Chain A
Amino acid sequence: MNRSILISSVFHFIIIIITAMSLPFLAKKPIDLPPIVSVELIQITDKTNIPFAPKAKKIIEKIKEKEKKLVSEQAPPKKVKKIKPDSVPMPEDKVKKVEKIIEDKQNPEKIDNEIKQVSEFEKKELFDPNNIAALIDKSKEESAEAVKKSNDITQDQVKSFESSALTLSEEDALKAQIFGCWSIPLGLPYNENLLVRIKLQLKPDGSVIKSEILDHARMNKPGQGFYKVLAESALRAVKLCQPLRVPSTGYERWKDLQLNFDAREMLEG
C-alpha cells in the first residue's frame, strides 16, 4: 500500500517537475508568425508608360535620406526617449527612478528643472505642431529641390531613359486640343485610304517652328484632290491650335512630333 503511494507520488512529482520545466520552454518559444503583407499584383509590360521610374527611385531615396537627417538633427536625447509614456518601464529603470527621486527629494529645485526639461522635450518631441509643420515644409522644400534637380537631369541626361512616348494623359490633352481645332472636310470619301502625316518641330512652349507633310508629293498628284483637301485641313488645325498643349517637361522627347490625321472614323459615321 505504502509502496504504491510512494510510486504514485514519485510519478506525480516527476510529472509536476516535467510540466514545470517544460511550460516555460513552451512559453519562451512562441510561434513566430510573420505579419501578413498584402501585395497588389500589377502586370508590367516590357515597356511602360511611367516616365523616369529609375530617376523617381533616386529622388525618393534622396528625400528619405534628407528626412532622416532632419529627424536626427532635431531628435531629443536618448535619456528622454526612455521615459516615453508608451514604453513599458523596465525594473531597472524603476530602481533608477526611485533613486533619482530620492536624490531629487534632497534638492527640490533640481527636481523641478529636471521635470520641466523632460516635459518640454516631451512636448517638443511629440506635440509641437510648429516643429512638425517646419519639418513638413523643409521636406517639401527638399523634395522641390530634388524635383528641380531631376528636371535638370532630364534636360541633360534625358537620353539615358527608356521611355520616349507621351503618357496617356499628355497624349489625351494634346488630342483633345486638336480635335477642337480640326474641321473635318465632310465631303471626303470614307472608303479611301486617306491618312495625312504631319511632322512638327515644336518650341518648348508648344508653338510650331515647322510643319511638314510627310507625303508631300501626293498633294500635287492628279486624282489626289481629297488627299490635298485633308492635308490642308490638318495644317489649318495645327495652325489654329498652336501653341499646342505639350507636357511642361521633357522637351527633348517631344520637340519633334508626328500627327497622323485620319478622318475615316468620323466620315463613316
Chain B
Amino acid sequence: MLKMKKFYSIFFILIFLPIKSYGLIEVDITRGNLNPLPLAVSPLSIDENSRSSFEKLLKKKNIGSEISTIVENNLKTSGLFNPLDKDAFLQAPDIANLKPRFEDWNLIKAQALITGKVNVVDEKLRVEFRLWDVLAGKEMMALAFTTVPNNWRRVGHIISDKVYERLTGEKGYFDTRIIYVAEEGPKTKRIKKLAIMDQDGANNKFLTLGNELVLTPRFNPTSQMVTYLSYFRNLPRVYLLDIETGKQEVVGDFPGMTFAPRFSPDGKKIIMSFAKDGNSEIYTMNLENRIVEKVTNHPSIDTSPSFSPDGKYIAFNSDRSGYQQIYIMRNDGSKVKRISFGKGIYGTPVWSPRGDLIAFTKLHKGKFYIGVMRTDGSGERLLTENFYQEAPSWSPNGRVLIFYRETKTDDKGKGFSAKLWSIDLTGYNERMVATPTDGSDPSWSSLLSN
C-alpha cells in the first residue's frame, strides 16, 4: 500500500514538474572587419604546345601567368581584395585547377581561390577559370571564353569582373575604358589631345592631333560614343565621336561660354549649359532631331548638369543663393531644391550610376575636396583633399571615382603637372592612374562586355 502511495506521489510530481524548453539564443552580428578579402590567384596553367604558339603570336612568354597577373592587379587596386604572394602557393597551377587541396590554400589564409587553364583552339585563345570558396571547399563559379589572341588583356579584365561580382554582389568595373584630355607642354602653351586607355592605364591611344583645344569628354552610358567640347575658330563646338568606328560629327555650335555636355542615361539626349543673352542656363538637345530645349529659367548662373540614372532628375550647379551650390530638379526644370548646405563652394555634381550618391568638387578655405553626398544632401563625406582637384567621374558600378589633380607651379613657372587619380568610396584606396602624358577631365566608360 505504502509503495503504491509512493509511486503515485512520484508520478504526480513528474506530471506537474515544470519542464521548460529553451528558446533559441540569437546573437546579432552588426560589425565586421573591412580588411580586404585574402584570395589566391593561381597562374592559369598552359600546356607546352599552346605556350609556344602564343609566344609566337603575342610575344609573351607565358600568357597564362600574364592573364593571372592582370586579374591579380585589378583585384588589388579595387582595395577589396588582398591577392596573396604566389611564392606561398603549395599546389601547382594545373593540379589546382582540377581539384584544389583546400587544406593547402587554407594554410596560407586564402578565403577564395582562382584557378584556370589557357589553350589554343583553332588559333584562338580559350581561357577557362574557376573560382573556389576555400573555407566551404566548393566551386563558386566556372566560366570559359574563346576569343582572338590579341584580346588576352580583356579576358583578364572580364575574369576580374566576374570574380568581383561573385564576391561583392555588385558588377565589376575592370573591363572598361577611360577617356581623358592628354596634356603636354608648359602651362601657358598647353597642347590638349583627346586620349583613351583601359582603366588600368594600358592601351593608351590619342584620338585627336592636338591642333584644337579639347575639353570635357564624356562617355555615353549605353554605348562607346563620346561627346566632347572643342574650340573651332574660337567658337565652342560640341562633337560626337564613335570610339569603335572613329566617326566624328558636330552636334552644333553654341554661343558664349558652353560647358560640359553630358549624355542622358538612355544616350538619346545631351544636357549642357551655355550662355545665351548673357545668362547661363541648362539646355537639353535631342540627338535624333537636334531640338534644343531650355530646362532652367533663372537670372543666376546654372551650370554642370547631370542626370540621375533613371533620367527623372537633374543635379546642377547654381549661384542663386549667392554662392555656388548644388541643386536638384525634375527633368522638366520644376521642383528645384538646394541640397548642399556645407561651408564653401560646391561644383561639378555627378550622379552615381547606382543612383544613391552625388559626387562633387568642393572649394573651402583655399583647398579642393572631392566628396559625395546622398541625393537629399545628407551624409556629406569628403574623400580627398588637395591643392587643386576636380571633375570626378564614376566607375560604372558607382564604387570608384576618377578625377584629376594639379600640382602647384613654382616661382620659375615649373613644377606644374596634372595627373589622373582614383579613389573608392571608403576614401582610403587612393591611387594615381598612370598615363604617358599629363591628363585631365577623365570620364569612365560603361562595361565593354555588356
A contact set with B: CB distance below 8 Å: 159-162, 164-166, 171, 174-175, 178-189, 191, 199, 225-226, 228-230, 232, 234-237, 239-240, 252-254, 256-266, 269
Contacts and interface: CB of A to CB of B under 8 A. Distances in A.
A222 to B, nearest CB: 14
Interface in B348-406: 354, 356, 381, 397, 399
B169 A230 contact: yes
Interface residues of B, number: 40
Given A178-B29, A237-B32, A252 B22 contact: yes
27 contacts: A159-B20, A159-B21, A160-B19, A162-B20, A166-B27, A178-B29, A179-B32, A181-B32, A182-B33, A185-B80, A185-B168, A185-B169, A187-B397, A187-B399, A188-B168, A229-B167, A229-B169, A235-B136, A257-B24, A257-B25, A257-B27, A258-B26, A262-B29, A262-B30, A263-B32, A265-B31, A266-B32
Nearest to A183: B37
B27 A258 contact: yes
Contacts of A260: 26-29
Given A183-B33, A183-B34, A260-B29, 14 more contacts: A159-B19, A162-B20, A165-B25, A166-B27, A171-B27, A187-B397, A188-B168, A228-B169, A229-B168, A237-B32, A239-B136, A263-B30, A266-B31, A266-B34
B332 interface: no
Contacts of A262: 28-30
Contacts of A254: 25
A261 B25 contact: no
A256 B22 CA distance: 10
B27 A175 contact: yes
B133 interface: yes
Contacts of A174: 27
Contacts, number: 128
Contact of A166 (B25, B29, B36): B25
Contacts of A199: 24
Interface of B: 17-37, 80, 111, 133, 135-136, 140, 164-170, 354, 356, 381, 397, 399, 426
A240 to B, nearest CB: 6
B25 A265 contact: no
